[in-house]
């Protein structure tokens, strides 16, 4: 144990945050900024944090595998968060984790950093742990060996919209009405909500303790992955059956996972290897020291889904550079949603482009394939939907809550954002979003179709309709561009006067 005496952190003290482009780190960044902390983010590619950090947060280029960049980033730092891992980097991730932890600890010691806060993983040390869990323990040991006071939190499954384990559960339940489940589905765990994890990480800044500390943190309930799947299905209104078989080894399970949820191909085997170990809290010191009462599984899952509805997820584990995946046919999977996005640079100012967008629907039409929209509306009426007959309240402008044919305005920010939510009959939920960026004579228009399928029928609908939607939405994008370019300078001035 270290004999460093730690006192509560002054708000003016500098905090170094690693992993700010990742799932936990991205959300912790927002918490630190809301608390008024001085934050410096270390990022391999600072441009990935552009637009995500507050005006007073510093972003520096660096890598935990680059000793020189670490030394520079540690200057003047009081407390450093270590929230990086190499799980998505391939078979050699353990060696990369070792090098990174040694570099980080040594740089922190040389810079006079007072405390390192690290998020590790639960697991019974008396058992032969998986490579991933062994690596998490080894990283903690190396950080402590640096001589800098280290506060380690050990957590089980983290539940939150965007977390790796939760998204895997979601993907399996959404896609498979009947699941052939291996033994690891019944292994006990103690899931914890991301909001509770963040509360512990933030409280650790001001924790007045001496020496190194290890805190085991978990939610109110001890459950299995199978229990989590059934609870998620219950809250989504899906009926799911699970048939347990003893023959699916971790290797076979990981191959099966790759087929069903290809988003996890790079980390599937490592994750499954870890799931087969119980991850339960055996020491309740954290409850006594912090006074935090973590929520239960039902509340955690409900909060995760509410968060996705509210913000379409603040951050996602797949945002992390080490877990980046290539876009595939049919859109990109984000949580329970499928996303197809297109973008175009236009030789017209943002306010002119947005004015064209804000006139969409009603008597003005949809800029492409209006007869297809009318046909879709007729089909919707035949199954009891609202169809395309409602038009819009005002042909020139929109407000949140307005109807636009079979859509409703969910978000509206003048000259920047329009998000429509579909009210037609669908096996899921759908949105169509337009974003415009630019401050000069040119602008960039982003058009995004988002679909949250309800079970297997919803997935079948998305992929069956994807070719038609690709033609329809591409044509719409081109129509908007053509209309914006057709507006001459005199008309543009008139538009600005009308909306000023």
> Mind listing the pLDDT tens digit for each residue in 280-323?
999 989 988 998 999 999 999 999 888 776 655 444 444 443 44
CB atoms within 10 A of CB 189: 23
Per-residue model confidence (pLDDT) at position 322: 40
pTM of the model: 0.68
Name the percent of the chain in helix, strand, coil, to the closest 5.
45, 20, 35
CA dihedral sign, ordered 103, 104, 105, 107: positive
Per-residue model confidence (pLDDT) at position 247: 63
Per-residue model confidence (pLDDT) at position 319: 45
Per-residue model confidence (pLDDT) at position 186: 84
Per-residue model confidence (pLDDT) at position 489: 57
Q: Tell me: the pLDDT tens digits for 41-51?
A: 998 888 778 77
The C-alpha atoms of residue 378 and residue 373 are separated, in whole angstroms, by 9
Q: Tell me: the pLDDT tens digits for 179-189?
A: 877 777 888 99
Q: How far apart are the first and last CA of the chain?
A: 65
In the three-class reduction of DSSP (H, G, I as helix; E, B as strand; rest coil), residue 409 is classed as strand
Question: Helices marked H in 66-217 — which ranges?
Answer: 67-73, 93-111, 131-145, 164-175, 194-203
Better pLDDT: 356 or 495: 356
Per-residue model confidence (pLDDT) at position 364: 87
Question: In this prediction, what percent of the chain has a pLDDT beyond 90?
Answer: 38
**18-39: average pLDDT:** 91
Better pLDDT: 403 or 493: 403
Per-residue model confidence (pLDDT) at position 86: 60
Phi, psi of 211, deg, nearest 5: 75, 180
Q: Which of 427, 470, 428, 423 is nearest to 449 (CA)?
A: 470
Per-residue model confidence (pLDDT) at position 321: 36
Per-residue model confidence (pLDDT) at position 23: 84
Per-residue model confidence (pLDDT) at position 331: 61
- Residue 361 pLDDT > 50: yes
- Residue 98 pLDDT > 80: yes
Mean pLDDT, rounded, of the chain? 82
**Domains along the sequence of the chain with CATH:** 14-321 (3.40.50.720), 332-499 (3.30.530.20)
The C-alpha atoms of residue 159 and residue 230 are separated, in whole angstroms, by 14
Q: Tell me: the pLDDT tens digits for 231-288?
A: 999 998 888 888 877 765 656 666 666 656 544 544 555 566 666 678 899 998 998 8
Better pLDDT: 60 or 495: 60
- Residue 394 pLDDT > 60: yes
- Least confident stretch, 246-255, 380-389, 483-492: 246-255
Query: What is the token pair recorded at 50?
Result: 């552009």
- Residue 498 pLDDT > 70: no
Q: Tell me: the pLDDT tens digits for 192-227?
A: 999 999 999 999 999 888 899 999 999 999 999 889
Q: Which of 372, 357, 438, 447 is nearest to 404 (CA)?
A: 357
- Residue 373 pLDDT > 70: yes
Better pLDDT: 163 or 468: 468
- Residue 1 pLDDT > 50: no
DSSP conformational letter for 320: S
pLDDT category at 371 given cuts 50, 70, 90 is: very high
Q: Tell me: the pLDDT tens digits for 109-164?
A: 999 999 999 999 888 766 666 777 888 889 999 999 999 999 999 999 899 877 77
Per-residue model confidence (pLDDT) at position 252: 62
DSSP conformational letter for 479: H
Per-residue model confidence (pLDDT) at position 324: 38
């Amino acid at each position: 144990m270290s004999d460093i005496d730690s006192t509560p952190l002054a708000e003016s003290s500098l905090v170094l945050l690693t992993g700010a482009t990742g799932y936990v780190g991205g959300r912790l960044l927002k918490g630190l900024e809301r608390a008024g902390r001085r934050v410096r983010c270390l990022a391999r590619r600072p441009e990935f944090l552009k637009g995500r950090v507050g005006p007073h947060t510093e972003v520096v280029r660096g890598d935990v595998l680059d000793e020189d960049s670490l030394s520079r980033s540690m200057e003047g730092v009081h407390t450093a968060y270590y929230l990086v891992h190499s799980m998505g980097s391939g078979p050699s991730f353990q060696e990369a984790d070792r090098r990174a932890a040694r570099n980080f600890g040594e740089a922190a010691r040389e810079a006079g950093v007072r405390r390192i806060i690290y998020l590790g993983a639960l697991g019974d040390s008396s058992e032969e742990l998986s490579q991933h869990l062994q690596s998490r323990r080894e990283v903690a040991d190396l950080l402590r060996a640096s001589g800098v006071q280290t506060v380690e939190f050990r957590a089980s499954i983290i539940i939150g919209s965007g977390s790796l384990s939760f998204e895997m559960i979601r993907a399996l339940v959404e896609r498979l009405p009947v699941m052939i489940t291996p033994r690891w589905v019944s292994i006990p765990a103690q899931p914890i909500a991301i909001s509770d994890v963040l509360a512990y990480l933030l409280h650790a800044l001001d924790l007045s303790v001496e020496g190194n500390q290890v805190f085991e943190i978990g939610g109110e309930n001890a459950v299995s992955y199978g229990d989590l799947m059934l609870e998620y299905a219950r809250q989504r209104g899906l009926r799911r059956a699970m048939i347990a078989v003893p023959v699916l080894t971790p290797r076979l399970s990981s191959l099966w996972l790759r087929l069903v949820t290809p988003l996890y191909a790079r980390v599937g085997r490592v994750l499954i290897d870890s799931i087969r170990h119980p991850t339960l809290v055996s020491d309740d010191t954290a409850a006594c020291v912090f006074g935090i009462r973590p929520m239960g599984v039902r509340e955690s899952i409900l909060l995760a889904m509410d968060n996705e509805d509210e913000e379409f997820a603040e951050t996602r584990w797949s945002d992390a550079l080490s877990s980046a995946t290539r876009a595939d046919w049919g859109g990109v999977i984000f949580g329970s949603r499928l996303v197809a996005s297109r973008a175009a640079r236009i030789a017209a100012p943002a306010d002119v482009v947005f004015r064209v967008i804000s006139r969409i629907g009603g008597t003005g039409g949809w800029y492409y394939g209006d007869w297809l929209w009318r046909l879709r509306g007729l089909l919707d009426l035949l199954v009891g939907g609202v169809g395309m007959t409602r038009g819009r309240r005002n042909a020139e402008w929109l407000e949140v809550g307005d109807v636009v044919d079979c859509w409703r305005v969910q978000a509206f920010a003048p000259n920047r954002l329009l998000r429509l939510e579909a009210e037609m009959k669908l096996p899921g939920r759908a949105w169509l979003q337009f974003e415009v960026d630019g401050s000069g004579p040119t602008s960039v228009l982003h058009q995004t179709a988002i679909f949250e399928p309800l079970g297997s029928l919803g997935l079948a609908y998305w992929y069956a309709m994807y070719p038609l939607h690709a033609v329809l939405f591409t044509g719409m994008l081109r129509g908007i561009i053509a209309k914006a370019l057709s507006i001459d300078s005199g008309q543009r001035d008139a538009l600005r006067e009308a909306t000023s």
